[in-house]
Amino acid sequence: MLRIDVVAMPLAITRVTSIMAQRQFDVVTMDVAAPVDGLRRITVEVDTADEIRLDRLVKFLNRSPDVVKVAHLADEQSHTRREVFATITFPEGRLADAVAIAQAFSAEIVDADRTRCTVFAAAEPARVDALVKALSGFTVRDLVMTSPLRIPRVPRKGHQW
């Protein structure tokens, strides 16, 4: 997972993504934040296990005039969360079952009536995937998931990664 800070200019994101495309990287997820202080933060998950290729990509990105900073966020050095909204329908009288599943996954029912409800959760990606699988016993009418969001962990005193 890479976190790329780029200048908030037209076409800056296009130029960054074209660098990845030219190097034949498959982008799994990409999240682009709104501009803050003239910068946009892009969080990109690329499909590669080759650290040498990834280091080369970081070097190419750093050469771009649009890129201010690139950070590689390793799994053990960062927190990852994903959000999901799932609207499900069910036979009348089964709302309690849906609520029980939501509570088991620390999810929240944000809208409900006799035959449908909307569940919201923000958790680690594996936990969100497990929630969606548990809800598949009902009829899933709408499902919206964010790409994984990642932020570096705060280092503890005397702890090295």
Which one has a higher pLDDT value, 94 or 153? 94
Choosing from 13, 42, 72, the residue where a domain stops is 72
Same domain as 27, residue 68: yes
d(CA 58, CA 134): 38
Answer yes or no: is 155 within a domain. no
Based on the domain organization, do 98 and 137 belong to the same domain? yes
Domain final residue, candidates 29, 49, 72: 72
Split into its structural domains, the chain has a count of 2
User: Last residue of a domain, which of 45, 72, 99?
Assistant: 72
Q: Which domain holds residue 49?
A: 2-72
- Burial of 108-136, coded b for 16+ CB within 10 Å and e otherwise, reads eeeeeeeebbbbebebebebbeebbebbe
Alpha-carbon dihedral angle through residues 115, 117, 111, 123, given to the nearest 10 degrees: 170
CATH, residue 8: 3.30.70.260
DSSP 3-state of 32? strand
In a domain, 156, yes or no: no
- Cα three-residue angle 110-116-119, rounded to 5 degrees: 30
User: Beta-carbon neighbour count of residue 92 at 10 Å?
Assistant: 8
Say if residue 59 is in the same domain as residue 113.
no
Q: How many helices (H) and strands (E) does the chain have?
A: 4, 9
Write out pLDDT tens, residues 132-157: 999 999 999 999 988 777 777 777 77
pLDDT in tens, 104-126: 999 999 999 999 999 999 999 89
